[in-house]
Amino acid sequence: MKSFTDERVENYLYAMLPQREPVLQEMERQAKARDIPIVGPAVGRLFYQYARLINAKTVFELGSAIGYSTIWWAKAVGEGGTVHYTDGSRKNADEARGYFEQAGVADRIQIHVGDALEVLSERKEEFDIVFNDVDKHDYPRVFNMAAARVRKGGLFISDNALWSGSVAYAAGNPDLANSAEPDKYAKGVVEFNRLLYSSKDWFTTIVPLRDGVAVALRV
């Protein structure tokens, strides 16, 4: 993911962040060294803030990798809260479990290994927050599931809502559009955003932080 915001502004935003605890710093180092996708500390703080604003106690993550965002959610829900981690890789899940223990939040996290959409489809309850970070071409499929899985007044939050700026092709402005034909991932994100904004079930805003965070309130 390349940044599409002004580099000076990006640097300023990250320079303002307080120091994270050692386990999060280690995860950030690992993500950079091994090219592991994580939301990063600025977005992590945003997640924590939104969860606290609605007093969230249950969070379901679709796509968790090494569990960086999971820790932010787990800290926000507090003792007695539950965060569902999902990833298709047992190796990722085992690594994440170690980080959860270091962060002191392992007892708040349920780990699911397998297809995140299948795991969610098997759940019957509603959640305070559903966080979507699966393969981008699957975003429209997640949209079709989300309304039945988020309580009214809850949040449906999605990462990569601006997909490195490649969504601009859909604006119809040739000065904004990329010269290359958009791939299936960009098309998936654009269709997902269109569905969110046109739905009566959701009140949606895209926050242009990092790669864009779509925040949809269940109405």
Q: Where do the domains of the chain lie?
A: 7-218
* Contact between 68 and 77 (Cβ < 8 Å): no
- Could you report the per-residue pLDDT of 163-208, keeping only the tens digit for each? 999 998 887 655 555 556 789 999 999 999 999 999 999 999 999 9
What was the pLDDT predicted at 4?
Answer: 72
| Tally of CB atoms within 10 A around 7 | 8
- Could you report the per-residue pLDDT of 80-116, keeping only the tens digit for each? 999 999 999 999 999 999 999 999 999 999 999 999 9
CATH class name, domain 7-218: alpha beta
Contacts of 216 (CB under 8 A, 6+ apart): 146, 155, 156, 157, 158, 196, 202, 203, 204, 205
Spatial separation of the C-alpha atoms in residues 55 and 82, rounded to whole Å: 12
Q: Which residue has the tokens 């003792």?
A: 79
**pTM (2 d.p.):** 0.94
What was the pLDDT predicted at 1?
Answer: 62
Dihedral over Cα of 18, 24, 25, 30: its sign: negative
